[in-house]
Amino acid sequence: MDRHLFPLLYSFLLLMLAMKALRGFGETTKPNQRPYIVYMGEKPRESVGMPLLAHSELLQKAIGLSNQEASNRLIYSYTKSFLGFAAMLSDEEARKLSGMEELVSVFPSKQRQLHTTRSWNFMGFPLSAPRAPFESDVIVGVIDTGIWPESKSFDDAGFGPPPSRWKGICQSNHNFTCNNKIIGARYYHLQGNIREMDIPSPRDSDGHGTHTSSIVVGRLVTNASLAGIASGTARGGVPSARIAIYKVCWSDGCSDIDLLTAFEDAIQDGVDIISISIGGYSNSYFQDPIAIGSFHAMKKNILTSSSMGNGGLSFYSIENYAPWLLSVAASTTDRNIIARAKLGNGVEFDGKAMNIDGLDGEMYPLIYAGNAPNISAGHDARYSRYCYDGTLDGELVNGKVVLCDAFTDASVPLLVGAVGVIMGKDGAYDPTVENFLLPVSVLDSNSTKQVLNYANSTSNPTASIYKSEGVFDATAPYVASFSSRGPNPLTPNILKPDLTAPGVEILAAWSPLGNPKVSYNIISGTSIACPHTTGAAAYVKSFNPTWSPAAIKSALITTAYAMSSSRNVEAELAYGAGHINPLAALTPGLIYDAQEIDYIKMLCGEGYFTTTLRLVTGDQSSCTSSNNGTVLDLNYPTFAFQTQHGKSFSTSYRRIVTNVGAPNSTYYAIVNAPSSLKINIEPNVLSFEALLEKKSFSVKLEGDAYDTIISGVLIWSDGIHNVRSPIVVYTS
């Protein structure tokens, strides 16, 4: 190889490994592996690229891995100031490496100081990211449970007055005040009386709205944490942006009436982006207040970012799937919150729970709930094992750690004097969302069995439960088990979700009325992923204030980090185009744009009547042979097709891309797919001579549907921009 190519190869490999570290690629990790750092010392002056290759070869040689497995184990390669790498290794494999002469040391990677909200850094979106002067003019409307205006995340120090185009109001009930950061606030309870436990003002008595709002626009707050957990600097995606609050959710839920009213006001007030972490099911787009509200927002050039629900692993569990919505799944970051449980025999388990306090390592008697039935109340082990209300004997449980066979809120053991609870996990539920009132550790079924065996085979079993802590998860990102899955139940040939964003164990601001002990809290859900995409969308908007909602969506979708189905077998039906990458979305190269008329054509093709659409659009829109388009031709940045299992298929799409990169540029089509899927792009080269120039192309798919999901990809590349669109064929 020409020696002049080595620097290029070096840079390319460095980029690939860095991208792999950010993406995590979702590879499956064996339980006995953990992250290790292999330090190799100072970087030789003459090294140009080869050490990168040597890291994989070293793993192959030292511990007998295949080339593919060695590559999968590598987390990151250090090549700039010194040499070394990080990899997933077992303790035995680490010992083998330690004996090699060319290595300085091999040691486990410990979690020391974690930075918050780590989610933005994890996405490759650091504090040093470029900022547009227009960011302070971007207004984000959040439809949620309200906001706690006194939080440091919403301090308006240094802010000027709101943009002159702002038309909103501030409902200053119950000592609620706006400022130059929170420039508008409304509350809605248009039906029935407001309960005594609720506050008739935009003030947040729950915490959820404060949390989501601070993820989007929160100011920089140093030393933020939940009782010392996840300590660092809290910040939103667009810290200089303004926020308007629309409180529609109360202790009795969120009314559709209130939701639609909030959309109406937000559009009129002049917001630029709407964020809504609320959902529901409907068999028609126009029987869904969120689909309706967001459609009208789209007409006014306002993008709506929405959560897709916490329905778990079931197909078709997705909510908020209208094509004009940005639909977001929830995925992990490389910080995993655990609650360790330790038994008297020294065995420890990394359980799940959000414990702001622990038992400080002190060992307490351990009792299995099945051995502590409240016999006097007529209960036996069949019921007490689950820690049901009234089934436990207080005298037997008092002062002990209780092992329960089922997931509970731990209130029953607490009432009878337990000091802690170890319990089994309940399906896809994430125990970190629960505010337990005593130390808890939620374990998987195998670990729960081990605790049970110990409790029943030891004369004086003991246990302790620790305060929660953050540990490194090298396998991130992967989609959370609670995150709803596609496909789109109304328009199955539109891929949903669009993409995924951090939504697991995220630290952000909180209302003291939701929990008087904390001002920042850690919770999970697609409702937490949604404001991350809202923040990213607002970031893109700040640089491109005239871009349409579809253009912003396209930029986010086509620049997302690719993810792997090894951790999420539902593939694109779990994570859409992949994991959001805010910085890359600033320079997408090409965009798939769409306007109201494009959605109208799609709706005509989906069977909506002219009379209905004229009411929706407020004009003389009609479904005719000339505009009756198929959903396959909606100018969407992804490609999906539903077919019958075991059958051959063939389908085609038409798309138009707009050049927002270099004026004179040429893009080449790159396709990748398994042998069961043939992809033909015509033309496969697009040459542009000006900015905003448009080019059309067609995509033809052919194949045999013997797999439930067949994944491919189309990338338009000019050597600088890689405009990536997933192609997924799935069977009904």
Known catalytic residues are 144, 208, 527
Report helix, strand or coil for 326: strand
Write the DSSP string, 364-394: EEEEEGGG-B-GGGT--HHHHTTT-TT-B-H
Encode 360-381: b = buried (16+ Cβ within 10 Å), e = exposed. Answer: eeeebbbbbbbbbbbeeeebeb
Length of the chain: 732
Alpha helices in 458-548 (DSSP H): 526-543
> Position of tokens 């330790």?
342
Burial of 543 (0-12, 13-18, 19+ CB in 10 A): middle
Using CA atoms in the order 179, 180, 184, 185, what is the torsion angle rounded to 10 degrees? -30
Question: d(Cα 412, Cα 391) in Å, to the nearest integer?
Answer: 9
> At 397, phi and psi to the nearest 5?
-95, -25
Residue 40 contacts residue 84 (beta carbons within 8 Å): yes
Using CA atoms in the order 546, 123, 30, 429, what is the torsion angle rounded to 10 degrees? -70
**663: cis peptide before it, omega within 30°?**
no
Residue 732 contacts residue 689 (beta carbons within 8 Å): no
Strands 499-502 and 326-331: parallel
Neighbours of 7 (CB within 10 A): 11
Type of residue found at 306: S
Neighbours of 672 (CB within 10 A): 12
Residue 316 contacts residue 485 (beta carbons within 8 Å): yes
Question: d(Cα 589, Cα 436) in Å, to the nearest integer?
Answer: 48
Q: Maximum distance among all alpha carbons in the chain?
A: 86
Structural tokens at position 420: 């802690």
Q: How far is CA 352 from CA 249, 407, 718, in A?
A: 28, 12, 46
Q: What is the sign, positive or negative, of the torsion defined by CA atoms of 477, 478, 481, 482?
A: positive
Residue 647 contacts residue 703 (beta carbons within 8 Å): no
Report helix, strand or coil for 707: coil
Instruction: Identify the DSSP state of 729.
Output: E
Question: d(Cα 332, Cα 505) in Å, to the nearest integer?
Answer: 8
Q: How far is CA 336 from CA 307, 354, 477, 524, in A?
A: 22, 11, 11, 12
What secondary structure, in 3-state letters, does 73-129 show? Answer: HEEEEECCCEEEEEEEECHHHHHHHHCCCCCCEEEECCCCCCCCCHHHHHCCCCCCC
Expressed in percent and rounded to 5, the helix, strand and coil fractions of the chain are 25, 30, 45
What secondary structure, in 3-state letters, does 408-457 show? Answer: CCCHHHHHCCCCEEEEECCCCCCHHHCCCCCCEEEECHHHHHHHHHHHHH
Structural tokens at position 660: 């927002």
Question: d(Cα 589, Cα 718) in Å, to the nearest integer?
Answer: 8
